[in-house]
């Protein structure tokens, strides 16, 4: 025992956890729970379930922070392979909910696409860790194929939002590995050419309607434009200082749909206003900065690429959700990270931050008690 209070193994484990990042993550989750309580009309049971999700995520954060870069690198190929197989099984024998076939039932419903949010950047980082950097063109093509396979499988479910998150998590590894600006420019041109084809031939009707609503939300205020219209009213009506906690009209009068999940940012904006939004964004930006800082201290190429990608991906989640709720991006069903209700999302993100913490160079932090 150390100081007669805690077991020595626990002290060693906690020393791998970045206390600063964990404190800010916990503060963000607390704000999320308070907003969820308001958005759910004081549904304490829902808040308790989300608290359990956070507790599970916290345990996994501590666990994954103990795993070295070398060990995680050895898992990368296996985790990626298992994830792809599970995605294929989803399309064959998956459980359908709300018109989407995204789950597998193995005593409980699991969503394999969530696994790929971690498995894809791990796999791409593993691939580049075995290659000279900056990567050659052929290496980039192979890495893109590693990203493309799970992305297309998830799109088939269909789940456009998650497929984009998986794709960007892999792309950020490629970018951080040293992808040239010429290739990035070429990729932008390719996307510009492919986007119309994707719109006409690769999207479901409801997905095309969401894109059309982005450019003309008032064309169908009671249909496809309803979510964005009500969300913009909620954010705008919050003004500079907001209406106060539990005082939002749009949420509590049931004008705002999906207010406890994808559109919880609108609830927060209405109740805490511009000042509250700025504080919330400051917390997010600090988390992203801290994650990138820890990634820069990685013990090898794999660690730095994976930690950097997970940190930037967290920013992308934030960007997509706030852009969607503000009417700047199409509605794609991406939750506000660590604030929206959802167990799988919270647990996956906490695991990701545990991985980031575990990527740091390892020092001798424990000596046997005399």
The two tokens of residue 318 are: 């934030």
Q: For 22-79, how does the pLDDT look when each residue is reduced to its tens digit (9 = 90+)?
A: 999 999 999 999 999 998 888 899 999 999 999 999 999 999 998 888 899 999 999 9
Local confidence band at 202 (pLDDT 50, 70, 90 cut-offs)? low
Helix (H) / strand (E) element for 100: namely: strand 100-105
The HSE-up count of residue 53 (CA atoms within 13 Å, CB side) is 22
Local confidence band at 361 (pLDDT 50, 70, 90 cut-offs)? low
Local confidence band at 369 (pLDDT 50, 70, 90 cut-offs)? very low
- Which of 46-55, 144-153, 201-210, 284-293 is predicted with the least confidence, judged by mean pLDDT? 201-210
Within a 10 A sphere around the Cβ of 90, how many other Cβ atoms? 23
Query: In whole angstroms, what separates CA 286 from the centre of its chain?
Result: 16
Q: Which residue has the higher pLDDT, 12 or 52?
A: 52
What is the DSSP secondary-structure string of 47-73?
HHHHHHHHHHHHHHHHHHHTS-HHHHH
Q: How far apart are CA 25 and CA 33, in angstroms?
A: 12
Question: What pLDDT shows up at residue 81?
Answer: 94
Residue reference for tokens 């399309």: 91
Rounded to an integer, the average pLDDT of 147-161 is: 87
Cβ-count burial of 334 within 10 angstroms (0-12 exposed, 13-18 middle, 19+ buried)?
A: buried
pLDDT of 3 > 60? The answer is: no
Question: What pLDDT shows up at residue 343?
Answer: 79
* Range from 217-221, 289-293, 295-299, 327-331 that averages highest in pLDDT: 289-293
pTM exceeding the 0.85 threshold for the entire prediction: yes
Residue 361 is given by DSSP the state P
Question: What pLDDT shows up at residue 326?
Answer: 87
Cβ-count burial of 219 within 10 angstroms (0-12 exposed, 13-18 middle, 19+ buried)?
A: exposed
Q: Which residue has the higher pLDDT, 13 or 61?
A: 61
The two tokens of residue 314 are: 């967290």
Mean pLDDT, the chain, whole residue set: 84
Rounded to an integer, the average pLDDT of 1-20 is: 66
Phi-psi domain of 338 (left: phi exceeds 0; alpha: psi -120 through 50; beta: other):
left
């Amino acid at each position: 025992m150390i100081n007669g209070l805690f077991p020595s193994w626990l002290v060693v484990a906690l020393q791998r956890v970045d206390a600063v990042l964990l404190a800010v993550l916990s503060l963000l989750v607390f704000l999320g729970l308070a907003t969820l309580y308001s958005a759910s009309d004081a549904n304490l049971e829902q808040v308790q379930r989300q608290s359990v999700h956070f507790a599970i995520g916290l345990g996994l954060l501590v666990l994954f922070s103990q795993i070295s870069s070398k060990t995680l690198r050895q898992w990368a190929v296996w985790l990626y392979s298992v994830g792809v197989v599970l995605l294929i099984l989803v399309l064959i024998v998956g459980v359908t909910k709300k018109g989407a076939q995204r789950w597998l039932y193995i005593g409980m419903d699991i969503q394999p696409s969530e696994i790929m949010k971690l498995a894809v950047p791990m796999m791409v980082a593993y691939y580049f860790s075995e290659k000279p950097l900056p990567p050659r063109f052929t290496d980039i093509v192979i890495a893109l194929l590693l990203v493309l396979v799970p992305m297309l499988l998830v799109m088939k479910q269909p789940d456009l939002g998650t497929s984009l998150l998986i794709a960007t998590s892999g792309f950020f590894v490629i970018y951080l590995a040293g992808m040239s600006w010429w290739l990035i420019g070429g990729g932008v041109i390719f996307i510009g050419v492919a986007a119309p084809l994707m719109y006409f031939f690769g999207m479901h009707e409801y997905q095309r309607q969401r894109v059309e609503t982005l450019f003309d939300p008032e064309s169908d205020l009671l249909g496809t434009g309803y979510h964005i219209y009500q969300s913009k009213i909620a954010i705008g009506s919050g003004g500079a200082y907001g209406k106060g906690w539990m005082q939002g009209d749009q949420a509590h009068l049931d004008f705002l749909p999906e207010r406890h999940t994808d559109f919880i940012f609108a609830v927060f904006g209405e109740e805490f206003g511009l000042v509250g939004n700025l504080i919330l964004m400051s917390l997010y930006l600090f988390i992203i900065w801290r994650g990138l800082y820890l990634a820069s201290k990685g013990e090898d190429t794999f660690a730095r690429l994976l930690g950097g990608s997970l940190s930037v991906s967290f920013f992308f989640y934030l960007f997509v959700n706030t852009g969607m709720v503000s009417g700047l991006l199409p509605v794609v069903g991406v939750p506000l990270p660590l604030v929206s209700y959802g167990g799988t999302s919270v647990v996956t993100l906490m695991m990701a931050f545990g991985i980031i913490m575990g990527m740091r160079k390892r020092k001798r932090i424990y000596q046997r008690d005399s």
